[in-house]
Amino acid sequence: MTESKCILGPFDVALEEPVYFNITPNVDGKTIQSVEMINGFVHRGMESIVLRRNFLQNLIITEKVCGLCSNNHPFTYCMAVEKLAHITLPRRAQYLRVIADETKRIASHLFNVAMLAHLLKRHTLMGLLLEAREHFQDIKEQIWGNRMDLSANVIGGVKYDLSPEKIAFMKEKIALTHKMVVEIVKLFETDESLKKRIQGVGVLPHEKALSLGVVGPVARASGVNNDVRFCAPYAAYDALSFNVITRHEGDVYARAMVRLYEIFESMSLLEHAFDALPEGEIALHVKSVVPKGEATSRSEAPRGELMYYLKSNGTQKPERMKWRVPSYMNWEALKVMLKGNAIEDIALIFNSIDPCISCSER
C-alpha cells in the first residue's frame, strides 16, 4: 500500500462551480483591486418543486436545501406553516427544537474553523477541531440517527424525544467537546504567529456591515448584532439566556473568534434547555390543510438569519414559497473584504464568511 494524502480541499469541486470570480490585481500584482462575481450553478429549481408538493412533503424538501443548515430550513418552514395554521406548539417541542438547532450550530461552527486551520496548514489544530466535531456527529447519530440531516422537525412539533439517559449521553459528549474547545480558543488567543496571519485580513467595517445588511457571525464580528434569537426570539429562546458574541475588528480572526465563543454559548444554551425541559407532548396532531393566508418566519442559522415566506390559498399545496439564506446577504460583502488584501489570502477570506452555495442557489 502506498501513502495516502488528501490533496483536495473541501471546496475543490472539480466541476461546475456555482460561483466564479474575476479578480483584478493592483499594479503591484500582489493585492486585490476589485472582484466581480458570477453566480448561479447549484440551482435545482427548488422554489418550483415546492409548489408541486403538499405542505407535508415540503418538509422533507426543505431539509435538502443544504447539508450544513439542514435543521434550520425545516425549522423555519414549520414556523411559517404554524403561523398560518395558528398553532401554538407544546413547550417541550419548543425546547427540543432549540436543542436540535444548537447541536447543529456547534458542529457547523467547528467545521468552519477546522477549514480555517486547514487553509492555514495547521494540521494538528484542524485534527483537533474535526475530532471535537466528531463528538457532535456522534450525538447527532445517537439521538437523531443521522450525522447530517436530523429530521427533527414536523409541523406542530418535533419527531424525537429525549430520555434522561440520552440527555446524560449528550452532557457527557458536550463536556468532552467543551474541554477541547477551551484548548482551541486558548491557542487562538495565545499563538502570536497564528493571530498575526489572520488579524487585519479581510476587514468588513462596521458601517459597511450595517448598510450591506450582512447577517450571522459575519455581522457580529463587525459589531452588528442582528442575531434573530436575540432580536426576534422564537421557539424557546425567549426563556433561555445567552450572550450574543460581538467583536469590533471585522476581520478573519474576529469571525473565527465569534464562532468559537458562540460554541460556548450554544453549549450553555443546551445545558439550560436540558435542565428546564418541560414535560408534555412533543407534537400536536395537525390537519394537513393549511388555511388561506401568508406568513413570514425567521431563525438564526449557523451562518445567520434565515427567512421564509409562505402563501397559502387554502389548498394542500403552497401558492408561493420563498426563502432567503444567510449566505445570500453575505456574498456582496466579500467585495469589501477582499479589496486591497493579498491575493494569497483569498481562500482565508472566502472561508471566513462560511459560504453556502447550495443554499444560495436553491
Partner 1 sequence: MKHLQSNLTHLANTLGIKTSFEISNDALWASIEDTNALLEFAKGLHAMHARVCMITCARVEKGHDVVYHFDIKGVLFNLKLHLKTPKLPSITPWFESANWAERELSELYGITLENHPNPSKLFIDESIKEAIYGAYVPLSSAMNGEVSSHLWEKVKMAQGECHD
Partner 2 sequence: MSDTIYVYRINTGSCNGCDVEILASVLIPKFGFDTLGCTYTNDPTLANIVLVTGSITARSKPYLEKILTQLPQKKVVVALGICPISGGVFRDSYAITGPLDRFVTVDVNIAGCPPSPKEIAQGVAQACSLWREKCYEN
Instruction: Give how far the C-alpha of residue 249 lies from the chain's centroid of Cα atoms, to the nearest Å.
Output: 21
Question: Exactly one of 73, 109, 255, 298 binds partner 1 (CB under 8 A); which one?
Answer: 298
Strand bridging mode 157-158 / 293-301: unpaired
Instruction: Give how far the C-alpha of residue 333 lies from the chain's centroid of Cα atoms, to the nearest Å.
Output: 17
Residue 294 interacts, among partner 2, partner 1, none and using kind-specific CB cut-offs from 5 to 8 Å, with: partner 1
Question: Exactly one of 19, 35, 49, 244 binds partner 2 (CB under 8 A); which one?
Answer: 49
Q: Which is nearer to partner 1, 91 or 324 (CB)?
A: 324
- Which grid coordinates are listed for 177? 467537546
Residue 312 interacts, among partner 2, partner 1, none and using kind-specific CB cut-offs from 5 to 8 Å, with: none
Q: Which of 79, 89, 99 is nearest to 299 (CA)?
A: 79
Q: What is the dihedral of CA 142, 327, 270, 90, to 10 degrees?
A: -90
| Touching partner 2, residues 4-43 (CB under 8 A) | 4-8, 10-16, 40-43
Q: What is the dihedral of CA 345, 350, 353, 355, to 10 degrees?
A: -170
Instruction: Give how far the C-alpha of residue 70 lies from the chain's centroid of Cα atoms, to the nearest Å.
Output: 9
At residue 218, φ and ψ (nearest 5 deg) are -60, -45
Q: Which is nearer to partner 1, 174 or 302 (CB)?
A: 302
Q: Does 128 bind partner 2 (CB under 8 A)?
A: no
54: alpha, beta or left? (left if phi > 0; alpha if psi -120 to 50):
beta
Q: Which is nearer to partner 1, 160 or 328 (CB)?
A: 328
CA separation for the pair 210, 101 (Å, rounded): 26
Element (H, E) at 304: strand 304-312
Task: Report, in Å, the least distance between residue 194 CB and partner 1.
Answer: 16
CA separation for the pair 329, 321 (Å, rounded): 19
Instruction: Give how far the C-alpha of residue 324 lies from the chain's centroid of Cα atoms, to the nearest Å.
Output: 13
One character per residue 320-359, x = contact with partner 1 (rule: CB under 8 A): x-xxx---xx-xx----------xx-xx--xx---x-x--
Q: Is there a contact between 207 and 148 (Cβ–Cβ < 8 Å)?
A: no
At residue 250, φ and ψ (nearest 5 deg) are 70, 20
Residue 311 interacts, among partner 2, partner 1, none and using kind-specific CB cut-offs from 5 to 8 Å, with: partner 1
Q: Does 294 bind partner 1 (CB under 8 A)?
A: yes
Question: Exactly one of 46, 80, 267, 290 binds partner 2 (CB under 8 A); which one?
Answer: 46
- Which grid coordinates are listed for 158? 418535533
At residue 30, φ and ψ (nearest 5 deg) are -110, -25
Residue 71 interacts, among partner 2, partner 1, none and using kind-specific CB cut-offs from 5 to 8 Å, with: none
Q: Does 205 bind partner 1 (CB under 8 A)?
A: no
Residue 22 interacts, among partner 1, partner 2, none and using kind-specific CB cut-offs from 5 to 8 Å, with: partner 1
One character per residue 143-172, x = contact with partner 2 (rule: CB under 8 A): ---xxxx-----------------------
Residue 298 interacts, among partner 2, partner 1, none and using kind-specific CB cut-offs from 5 to 8 Å, with: partner 1
Instruction: Give how far the C-alpha of residue 200 lies from the chain's centroid of Cα atoms, to the nearest Å.
Output: 24
- Enumerate binding residues for partner 2 (CB under 8 A): 1-8, 10-16, 40-46, 48-49, 52, 60-61, 64-68, 70, 111, 126-127, 130-131, 134, 137, 141, 146-149, 356-358
Residues in contact with partner 1 by CB under 8 A are 7, 9-14, 17-23, 25, 29, 36, 38-41, 43, 83-84, 118-119, 121, 210-213, 226, 231-232, 293-298, 305, 307, 309, 311, 319-320, 322-324, 328-329, 331-332, 343-344, 346-347, 350-351, 355, 357, 361
